[in-house]
Structure 1
Amino acid sequence: MHWTEYFGPLMQGAWVTIELTVYSTILGAILSFAAGIGKTSHNPVLKGISVVYIEVFRGTSLLVQLFWLYFALPLIGDAVGIDLRLPPVVAGVLALSLNIGAYGAEVVRGAIQAVSKDQYEAAKACNFTPRQTLFSVVLPQAIPEMMPPFGNLAIQNLKDTALVSLISLGDLAFRAEQLRNFTQDSTTIYTMVLFMYFGMALVLTAIMKLLERNVGRWRAVRR
């Protein structure tokens, strides 16, 4: 095969990688805010659930989490008479989301706790409820501080999508391995894959930088 013939299969895999990255990053961001805010909560149940989630998914391998969801969870379902089999794409998105969400939760927690105590006192003086203080005072100041670390996590998440090839999901890494096994042209195929991942990372970085600037402008307008 000529190297130009590799583009079709690799682009199919790249599209799957892009979908996985987008879905898992969005869901991971939601989990980040839920667990990060939960960890700062005064509700012991909510705080406990958040702490357990964060520590478990930060303290274990993403690969093990992926295998557990795809291979072990169905066995547990069979034992209790419930069908818990997940399609590969669902297992992949869920594992990536839970993992990035746990790391992102610490970013959210740190940014919230970095807001000056004077801001809390001012909100209290204005008779704001805890919910109003969080959403009207704290988060508008904390979110711009979260954006650079979130950008790094999004790039890491893109690279981590390669692991889903191990559950036979046809992403870029899986397509590359199929081509390599068929042609034995490892150098050409993996050089192309390297540049494709690099290109996707550049685009994602640009998107995150744009979001960061827009959030900064939104904060300036609110002031």
Structure 2
Amino acid sequence: MFRKLSSRWLKRIGALWLGCLLVLALGYFPSQAQDSAAVWEVGTEPTFPPFEMKDEATGNVIGFDIDLINAIGEAAGHPVKIISLPFDGLIPSLQSKTLDAAISGMTITAERAQTIDFSRPYFEAGLAIAVVEGNDSIQSFEDLKGKRIAVQIGTTGAEKAKEVEGATISTFDGAPLALQELLNGRVDAVVNDLPVTLYAINEANLKGIKIVGELLTEEYYGIALPKGSENLATINAALGELIENGTYAEIFGKWFAGEPPDLPEIAPALSSGTASGLDWGLLFRNLMRGAWVTIMLTFFSFLFGLIGGSLVAFALISPFKPLRWLCRVYVDFFRGTPMLVQLFMIYFGIPALFQGLGFDVSFNRFFAAVLALSLNVAAYLAEILRGGIQSIDRGQWEAAESLAMNPIETMRYVVFPQAFRRILPPLGNEFITLIKDTSLAAVIGFEELFREGQLTVATTYRAFEVYLAVAIVYLVMTSIASMVFKRLEAYMDPIGRSEKQRKAAAKPAPLGA
């Protein structure tokens, strides 16, 4: 009977799987046969207004680039699906062919053209220097010598800033963050694309910024595609058609003043230049420098987090209700909100808030990163410590009280040592997690281990090798931390130690001793 039922169910399961495969096949093969209607997945980084940005009302990505690629897709008979990605992730995505194309104000350069293909130029741009109003010390590119410069990672502005002698360069994931850094007074200038900076000055809430000097470069934007993509000719033909029939001029007029310039069919930058090779020696030095920064961030954040977490844990078990409720709100807030949001609030939000009130407040990057990480880890450690303390049997408190020990002595000599041994494993887990969470400090321009890897990928476009090396360094650090905590657990275990000592004492001495 059991065999018959088993056989029957196996047949049903097999038929179900076969049906699923047929459905998938029917959904897949027609799309291959009807290639003209295939959906183009196009990547963009939606923090580059007016080329691409999020519509606050609908949440959709809008902008000049988005209107243009949709018009190109319509002319070519291909629906377009917009995929939001960080700017420095667009080229690696094209290299792995997970995207059909990318349009994100990407400048056509000979270096990039070594690893991806570009369409004909669709926009003429150039790099400009932005400073705060009232700063008359910077009027040209030469005046940037020895100054603090903010740039967007992976852009031609970031490459141009490297040419400035003695400059301190801070990289950010988006142009708005770099401009906010300028407003907060932590950098002297921003080197970025002129249209984006002008839009921020005129349209966004970034008043108090001005453009100085002449354009540093003459650049052209192009649509990026995987190397050898069959869609290149289709996109070029559709773009040429839009320029000829006036659709391009209509889209240009929607987002910019004046008439669109005449665009060449081939960008001048493609006539010269070579891609940067991957220097393994330089990569090793950069990753070691980043690893040291990561270690410092982890050490100080965990130290202050442990101190703060201990105080909060004691407050959570305090009989004083207002204090207990206040600490509960703190723990729930920092455990219930993303650390990335907390980091942005502390580094960008608080200074902007106080400056709006007329106070000049600015945080050092290291201080802001340690503060955010410490506050976050303290919330988690507080719950771990509270659980460890409350796991100690209540009878030990009563026994200590009978020995005339006050509550502080009971906690110090009886409860906390036992609780600490019990919470060592979760403490180790939090420490290892913190090592990896320090990578979030990259968003405020802090060049820790992960950021060093990002900066290398932005110039070499060798994502797999670089990120594999970054992962190996993280693995080494977390493995060492895990080993240290295991040794500490063994050392703090009195039963285990006495057992080892007993076995060592019982071991017979070698002959001749």
Give the structure-1-normalised TM-score: 0.93
Show the counterpart of 2:334: 57
Q: Distance in 2 between matches of 1:103 and 1:77?
A: 29
Alpha-carbon spacing, 1:12–1:25, altered in 2? closer, same or farther (3 Å): same
Q: Distance in 1 between matches of 2:495 and 2:322?
A: 34
Q: Which amino acid aligns with 2:445?
A: S
Larger Rg: 2
Pairwise mapping of residues 100-139 of structure 1 onto structure 2 (< 5 A)? 100-139=377-416
Q: Distance in 1 between matches of 2:321 and 2:391?
A: 21
Asked whether 1:160 is paired with 2:437, we answer yes
Q: 2:481 aligns with which of 204, 215, 223?
A: 204
Equivalent position SS for 1:206: helix
How far 1:146 sits from its partner (Å)? 0.9
- Unpaired stretches in structure 1, ≥5 consecutive residues: none
Equivalent position SS for 2:493: helix
How far 1:103 sits from its partner (Å)? 0.5
Asked whether 1:144 is paired with 2:421, we answer yes
Show the counterpart of 2:301: 24
Alpha-carbon spacing, 1:220–1:45, altered in 2? closer, same or farther (3 Å): farther
Q: Which amino acid aligns with 2:403?
A: C
Q: Distance in 1 between matches of 2:495 and 2:299?
A: 23
How far 1:157 sits from its partner (Å)? 0.4
Contact preservation (8 Å) 1:141, 1:219: no
Q: Which amino acid aligns with 2:411?
A: L
Alpha-carbon spacing, 1:4–1:164, altered in 2? closer, same or farther (3 Å): same
The answer to which structure has the higher helix fraction is 1
Q: Distance in 2 between matches of 1:80 and 1:136?
A: 49
Q: Which amino acid aligns with 1:162?
A: S
How far 1:127 sits from its partner (Å)? 2.4
Equivalent position SS for 2:404: coil
How far 1:219 sits from its partner (Å)? 11
Show the counterpart of 2:281: 4
Q: Which amino acid aligns with 1:134?
A: M
Q: Which amino acid aligns with 1:49?
A: L
Q: Distance in 2 between matches of 1:219 and 1:107?
A: 23
Alpha-carbon spacing, 1:196–1:59, altered in 2? closer, same or farther (3 Å): same
Contact preservation (8 Å) 1:162, 1:171: yes
Q: Is the deviation greater in 146-155 or in 42-51?
A: 42-51
Q: Distance in 1 between matches of 2:406 and 2:353?
A: 43
Contact preservation (8 Å) 1:32, 1:108: yes
Q: Distance in 1 between matches of 2:394 and 2:357?
A: 49
How far 1:15 sits from its partner (Å)? 0.8
**Aligned Cα RMSD in Å?**
1.8
Show the counterpart of 1:215: 492
Q: 1:193 aligns with which of 462, 470, 473?
A: 470
Equivalent position SS for 1:42: coil
Contact preservation (8 Å) 2:335, 2:380: yes
Show the counterpart of 1:184: 461
Q: 1:98 aligns with which of 375, 386, 390?
A: 375
Contact preservation (8 Å) 2:491, 2:497: no
How far 1:21 sits from its partner (Å)? 0.8
Contact preservation (8 Å) 2:453, 2:470: yes
Q: Which amino acid aligns with 2:361?
A: L
Show the counterpart of 2:33: none
Asked whether 1:66 is paired with 2:343, we answer yes
Q: Which amino acid aligns with 2:469?
A: M
How far 1:218 sits from its partner (Å)? 10
Q: Distance in 2 between matches of 1:220 and 1:131?
A: 28
Alpha-carbon spacing, 1:216–1:77, altered in 2? closer, same or farther (3 Å): farther
Contact preservation (8 Å) 1:3, 1:188: no
Q: Distance in 2 between matches of 1:45 and 1:214?
A: 39
How far 1:51 sits from its partner (Å)? 1.2
Q: Distance in 1 between matches of 2:370 and 2:350?
A: 15
Contact preservation (8 Å) 1:17, 1:158: yes
How far 1:95 sits from its partner (Å)? 0.8
Q: Distance in 2 between matches of 1:116 and 1:71?
A: 46
Q: Which amino acid aligns with 1:7?
A: F
1:26-85 deviation digits (Å, cap 9, x = unpaired): 111111111111101112233223212111101111000000000001022224444432
Q: Distance in 2 between matches of 1:127 and 1:83?
A: 54
Alpha-carbon spacing, 1:18–1:49, altered in 2? closer, same or farther (3 Å): same
Contact preservation (8 Å) 1:57, 1:99: yes
Q: Which amino acid aligns with 2:299?
A: V
How far 1:215 sits from its partner (Å)? 2.7
Alpha-carbon spacing, 1:208–1:82, altered in 2? closer, same or farther (3 Å): farther
Contact preservation (8 Å) 1:140, 1:219: no
Alpha-carbon spacing, 1:39–1:60, altered in 2? closer, same or farther (3 Å): same
Contact preservation (8 Å) 2:490, 2:496: no
Q: Distance in 1 between matches of 2:427 and 2:335?
A: 16
